[in-house]
Amino acid sequence: MMLHIPGVLAADQVKSMRARLEATDWIDGRASVGSQGAQVKRNRQLAEGSPLALELGQIVSAALMANPLFFSAVLPLRILPPFFNSYAGGEHYGLHIDGAIRAQRGGAPVRSDVSCTVFLSDPDDYEGGELTVVDTYGTHEVKLPAGDAIVYPSSSVHEVKPVTRGERVASFLWVQSMVRDDWKRAMLLELDTNIQALRAKHGDGAEMVALTGHYHNLLRMWAET
């Protein structure tokens, strides 16, 4: 399941973050990947655990957790502190798959069930740089407005195409979900979305209470905490 989540960050939050990031030093993006990823990764990122990365990461994490669509789709149990990266001048990240277990400083390891990118550059700011995700339904290219997010299974093969003009800045992170399987999360999201739509039209009758009960019983059966 790939899902576009609009308006995770407000315009003023994006503007403030970009100003802070333009005044900082970036490191080689290969610092956070293994030997296989290092062969195809050419970009820059904030140093993991740096004061600025932690400060801005807390803003991103809080905005995601407060977003009802993100919470319903991802059902987050643990969120890895967000990273920040930049692509320019032909930089890219070739086809790869995210590691299954992500270590974090001072905390328990996180199983990467869901990958998330929050865009901090508007599409008109750069050429190229599409996030390309390959799954059983084909190849999907993503290039969203600043402040919007995309979530997709961490098990997907994906890449960031070369940026040939301008600069692509984004935050990216991994989430361990309460529900490990992507298809189960997709079913729960569809059920939750339709329950909310029916409640808005018809209120909370006996049938709505029963459907809500089915949702929570499925979540109770599948959730890991």
Residues 91-128 pLDDT 10s = 999 999 999 999 888 888 999 999 999 999 999 999 99
- pLDDT at residue 75, as a whole number: 98
Q: Closest Cα to residue 8, out of 83, 62, 75?
A: 62
Q: Which residues pair with 174 in a beta bridge?
A: 115
SS3 call for 220: helix
SS3 call for 39: coil
**What is the spatial distance between Cα 110 and Cα 108, in angstroms, rounded to a whole number?**
6
Per DSSP, the residues of 57-87 read HHHHHHHHHT-HHHHHHH-EEEEPPPEEEEE
One-letter amino acid for residue 37 of the chain: G
Residue 111 main-chain phi, psi, to 5 deg: -80, 125
- pLDDT at residue 104, as a whole number: 85
Mean pLDDT of the chain: 96
Question: pLDDT per residue over 58-77, tens digit each?
Answer: 999 999 999 999 999 999 99
Question: pLDDT per residue over 135-183, tens digit each?
Answer: 988 999 999 999 999 999 999 999 999 999 999 999 999 999 999 999 9
**What is the spatial distance between Cα 69 and Cα 60, in angstroms, rounded to a whole number?**
15
Encoded tokens for 225: 């905490």
